Amino acid sequence: MLFNTLLKIKKMGQPDMLSVKGMSFAFNERVIFENLTFNVKPGEWLLLKGGNGTGKSTVLKLLHKLIPLQVGSISIHSKHLKEYQLEELEEIAPLVNQDPLIAGEMTVIENLLGLEERNKFRMHYLFNSRKRSIAKIEPIYLELAERIGLSAHPHQQAGELSYGQQRLLSLVRALWPTQIRENKLLLVDEPLAGISKENCIKVLDIIEKCRLKGWGILMVEHSPIARIAANKFIDLEEFKPNGTI
């Protein structure tokens, strides 16, 4: 009890990692949610709840500028969302989407190598340098993949993977070591969909380890097991309005 109280006091003094104020969204003149306000601090795992059509996935897309903000404000690390480039958002607040955003014609390791090139060097390797880079990151991939239950061979084409394995590859991209740092925000949309129960436990375990390092987690997930892992909840049913924006 005392530990939890001290932890809450510590969080109160921390700046918001994510701040959403007065956000409303309408589609075809139908208001999906209205005046949505919440925040995420370092070490918090917030679970977005709500039935179908309440806008859970829409919230994540708004946070990643995949659809334009209509009403309200969004700040990440005290900086307004409109000031971020998409590339910056991918580094400080990676999104693991329902649809795996991977290059199916590339191998598993090439998907990660592309991430390395963009984040570290922002240029394409020459052939020999590229081979050295693959050799360098392959053992890192194998270790991380084993931890979350991704069984894909590094040189297997990503498009040949099952839906569940592609989801896990998307998570590996978000957790990739060159991107890992303190005070990072992770956005995850139904990460347990399409994967085995055993791998669900592994995925939640590695996300929990990130939370303990000071990451903030914002998750959409229907599985009851996610409710055990989260320590904060927002029910979008409470923000369903009547009328139009």
- Cα separation, 90 vs 182, whole angstroms: 15
Give the CA distances from residue 145 to residues 82, 116, 206, 217, 218, in Å, rounded to whole numbers and listed in that order: 34, 16, 11, 20, 22
Domain extents for the chain? Answer: 14-94+182-245, 102-178
Whether the per-residue pLDDT at 128 is higher than 50: the answer is no
Give the CA distances from residue 177 to residues 107, 173, 207, 243, in Å, rounded to whole numbers and listed in that order: 19, 9, 14, 46
Give the CA distances from residue 217 to residues 120, 141, 185, in Å, rounded to whole numbers and listed in that order: 24, 22, 6
Average pLDDT over residues 238-242: 83
Whether the per-residue pLDDT at 70 is higher than 60: the answer is yes
Of residues 129 and 70, the one with the higher pLDDT is 70
pLDDT attached to residue 39: 97
Strand residue runs (E) in the chain: 18-27, 30-40, 45-49, 71-76, 79-80, 95-96, 185-189, 216-220, 232-235
Whether the per-residue pLDDT at 123 is higher than 80: the answer is no
Whether the per-residue pLDDT at 109 is higher than 90: the answer is no
The 3-state DSSP composition of the chain as helix, strand, coil percent (nearest 5) reads: 45, 20, 35
Give the CA distances from residue 156 to residues 109, 110, 116, 162, in Å, rounded to whole numbers and listed in that order: 8, 10, 18, 12
Its CATH class, for the domain covering 14-94+182-245, is alpha beta
pLDDT tens for 179-206 read 555 668 999 999 888 888 888 888 898 8
Average pLDDT over residues 138-144: 85
